[in-house]
Structure 1
């Protein structure tokens, strides 16, 4: 489990295409400082399992389904990525509960610069809009954000200078894809309420 508080901006060091997967080598000084085989690290919001560590580079195998359902397949050597280690039980939950299981991808539609922040508008894939509410939480490329507004098949978020500087969202441009993970609590509530309304079990 993660919190959506990005620890560092890393970069893709290498990608080895496999038959039905890809092996990614990712550079990140902070996340590799205590990483070991089997640990979980979120890369642009996607939970990956560490299979090897060499200095400041860790390696992870990414299966085809993950490549198809997320934006990881569009990464290339040198691409910047948001990195976060799995949260420990004794840490503060600074963002919100993020599983690292991407629900779908959106597209950055527009950026509106302000004096102290930027308002960014992002498209919502069909079926995810019911989980996104104003003032609710959403993870965009692994960054925990508060939804500023929802308008049909799109939503907006406000990015503070720290987020713009320390995550990939500062450099994303209109047309760029992003990974989206909606609030897992909303999904569980929907299932439980639906089952109750039908008089059955979830």
Structure 2
């Protein structure tokens, strides 16, 4: 499990592409390497990956074809920088919200308005997901836990404070870039339950 509080940004040091599987070599340092064990879970742009190997400061992660189809990891190249979060431990402060590291969809950056103190980012996405994206609700965007601002038919906005701008890659991507989105699981459960109950009621 994760909290959506990005701990560091790390570059891709190597990328080995095999059939239906890519192996990422990530250059970690400092706290990211502390007591990191084989088999541990680490979120990369919000995608939960498992430590598959390690040599010095390079940590290896395997990414299956299905994950590549759903996430922006398929667009990555050597040298690209990713948002990284180690799995939460019991007793840790939860400053964001509980995440699984399972990306639901991609959203495209269609507008950015930046000032000296903050940024407003607008994303477009498939309309079918908008029922889970509510004003003042939560979503993880490339792994960062953020509060949703305004919402339209097939778009939504978030605001970035200086801390988020400096500690993540969220404000450094070009328009047209695709971001990984994990929707709030509680919101999804409530919406799906209400839809199912209402559908059963009208069938009676």
| 4+ long deviations beyond 3 Å | 194-197
Deviation, 1:97, is 1.3
Tell me, yes or no, if the aligned pair for 1:32 and 1:57 is still in contact at 8 Å. no
SS at match of 2:192: helix
1:121 and 1:28 map into 2 onto residues whose CA distance is 31
Residue in structure 2 matched with residue 64 of structure 1 by the alignment:
65
Residue in structure 1 matched with residue 105 of structure 2 by the alignment:
104
Instruction: Show CA shifts across 1:84-133 (max 9, x none).
Output: 00111211111011111000101111111124111111112231100001
SS at match of 1:168: coil
Residue in structure 1 matched with residue 11 of structure 2 by the alignment:
11
1:178 aligns to 2:179 (yes or no): yes
1:90 and 1:192 map into 2 onto residues whose CA distance is 31
Instruction: Show CA shifts across 1:143-199 (max 9, x none).
Output: 111111101111111101111111011211211111011101111122333444427
Structure 2, unpaired ranges of 5+:
none
Tell me, yes or no, if the aligned pair for 1:32 and 1:53 is still in contact at 8 Å. no
Residue in structure 2 matched with residue 36 of structure 1 by the alignment:
37
Residue in structure 2 matched with residue 165 of structure 1 by the alignment:
166
Residue in structure 1 matched with residue 138 of structure 2 by the alignment:
137
Tell me, yes or no, if the aligned pair for 1:11 and 1:79 is still in contact at 8 Å. yes
Matches within 5 A, 1:55-134: 55-134=56-135
Tell me, yes or no, if the aligned pair for 2:9 and 2:167 is still in contact at 8 Å. yes
Cα root mean square deviation, aligned: 1.2
Question: CA 1:114–1:191 in 2, change beyond 3 Å: closer, same or farther?
Answer: same
| TM-score, structure 1 normalization | 0.94
The range that moved more, 146-155 or 49-58, is 49-58
Residue in structure 2 matched with residue 21 of structure 1 by the alignment:
21
2:110 and 2:127 map into 1 onto residues whose CA distance is 16
Tell me, yes or no, if the aligned pair for 1:31 and 1:41 is still in contact at 8 Å. no
Tell me, yes or no, if the aligned pair for 1:141 and 1:179 is still in contact at 8 Å. yes
2:27 and 2:171 map into 1 onto residues whose CA distance is 19
Instruction: Show CA shifts across 1:7-38 (max 9, x none).
Output: 00001111111111111111121322221111
| TM-score, structure 2 normalization | 0.93
1:55 and 1:130 map into 2 onto residues whose CA distance is 45
Tell me, yes or no, if the aligned pair for 1:28 and 1:83 is still in contact at 8 Å. no
